[in-house]
Amino acid sequence: MGQTLIERIVSAHADGPVQAGEVVIARVALVYAHDGTGPVVVRHLRALGLDHRLAQPERTLFCLDHGAPSPRRELADEQAALRTFAQAAGARVIDIGEGISHQVVAERFVRPGDLVVGADAQTGLLGGLGALGLGLGTLDAAIAMALGQTWLRVPESQRITLTGQPPMGVTATDLALALRQRLRTTGALGRALEFTGPALAHLSVGERLTVAALAGETGAEAVLFPADDQTRLYLEAQGRGQDWCAVAPDPDAVYVGDLTLDLSTLAPLVVRPHTPEAVVPVQEVAGIRVQQVLLGTCSHGRLEDLAAAAALLRGRRVASGVRLIVAPASRAVLLRAAQEGPLTTLVEAGAILVTPGCASCVGIHQGVPADGEVVVATIPRNLRGRLGNPEAFVYLASPLTAAATALRGVLTDPREVLA
């Protein structure tokens, strides 16, 4: 019997071949936490007497991205404590301004086939790079840092076959939301989603990272893409071509379910407040007035996202009364967007540029909305209070839909602007 993609990756980090349903101990290639979870991880390490015993200090990261720069004294103190701990333990610090942890590790550290532990739910987006990212609790992350291994039950896999090419105005975001629409929040509960099909050739790694970030809301334990030519091109662009290797399931792998998505049939979608299941066509909510648009975060802060929004806004201005906040996912993205033009276009259109990082997504600073305001955001989740105010209303959308909405001041189908 052949192995699925997740079985192959876990087998490479365990003591031998594994199958779905087995509980195994596996070695980890990288462990990271951010300034929200890192302080708790360090407290666990100290309570266990393991605070200076890191199995792989050079592959242990503390990323300061959630309060970047810190909006409060208490957070600044926590960040300072993380820097001190990392220096003593030999770990790396990804400091303020370098970007979001998930984006930075994808750019600089993660290799196809790696098993990565992160103390954050969005760690699973690394599946877009052909790696297995496990978002674990702080205690499990602490153990992984100290011992260099973790335990897991190997999930069964559901195969998602992608066909066709997306029409104008349809993006990887809409692909992921269409999948969420079909599976809802429990349709892939406890499973791994593994993508295949002829349309993969047209999906960049950036788009795959977006799909992996958003598709996790189906209850999936992991979302995985094979490491193929697109992966090789991405790593070469990061100056890491030597890290590439092909990672794919066996042809005779066994799956517990199959779903085919024809991208040519998709339309722009949004998620209404305040639940990940409320996926509807943009046209169904078009015309709702919007006060703020957030473009960025780990699911949509890459160069292609900023470039897509900039292309739609070129030569135009955002609507009066709309705040368009742009948060690049990393310093590398910011620099390329500045060098290649999208950043200038967005600022000329009226965008507000903030520090590379999570920005207002976590509701700490850099764009907390007022009571009753409507926000369109390119973030992974829109549960009540996600942007820091439970009295605001947050719609999730693609960068194209966000840009079209910022332009007109109301929720807008991007095809109306692109036509």
Which one, of 313, 304, 361, lies nearest residue 333 by Cα? 304
Which one, of 191, 258, 253, lies nearest residue 17 by Cα? 253
Structure tokens given for 225: 């893409």
Q: How many CB atoms lie within 10 A of CB 390?
A: 12
What is the per-residue pLDDT across 90-115, written as a single tens digit (0 to 9) for each? 999 999 999 999 999 999 999 999 99
Enumerate the domain spans of the chain: 5-262, 272-418
Contact 55, 146 (CB under 8 A): yes
Contact 350, 325 (CB under 8 A): no
Structure tokens given for 386: 């996600």
Cα within 13 Å of Cα(171), Cβ side? 27
CATH fold match for the domains 5-262 and 272-418: yes
- What DSSP letter does each residue of 303-344 carry, written as one string? HHHHHHHHHHHTT--PPTT-EEEEE-SBHHHHHHHHHHSHHH
- What DSSP letter does each residue of 139-197 carry, written as one string? HHHHHHHHHSEEEEEPPPEEEEEEES---TT--HHHHHHHHHHHHTTTTTTT-EEEEES
On the question of pLDDT at 293 being above 90, the answer is: yes
- The pLDDT of residue 205 is 98
What is the per-residue pLDDT across 326-383, written as a single tens digit (0 to 9) for each? 999 999 999 999 999 999 999 999 999 999 999 999 999 999 999 999 999 999 999 9
Spatial distance between the Cα atoms of 106 and 401, rounded to a whole number of angstroms? 26
What is the per-residue pLDDT across 58-99, written as a single tens digit (0 to 9) for each? 999 999 999 999 999 999 999 999 999 999 999 999 999 999
- The pLDDT of residue 53 is 85
Quick one: pLDDT band at residue 247, thresholds 50, 70, 90? very high
Superfamily of chain region 5-262: Aconitase, domain 3 (3.30.499.10)
Quick one: pLDDT band at residue 260, thresholds 50, 70, 90? very high
On the question of pLDDT at 1 being above 90, the answer is: no
Structure tokens given for 187: 């349709």
What is the per-residue pLDDT across 403-418, written as a single tens digit (0 to 9) for each? 999 999 999 999 999 9
Average pLDDT over residues 214-242: 97
CATH code of domain 272-418 = 3.30.499.10
Q: Is the pTM of this model over 0.85?
A: yes
- The pLDDT of residue 163 is 98
Cα within 13 Å of Cα(309), Cβ side? 37
Name, in order, each residue with C-beta under 8 angstroms of 47's C-beta and a sequence gap of 6 or more. Answer: none
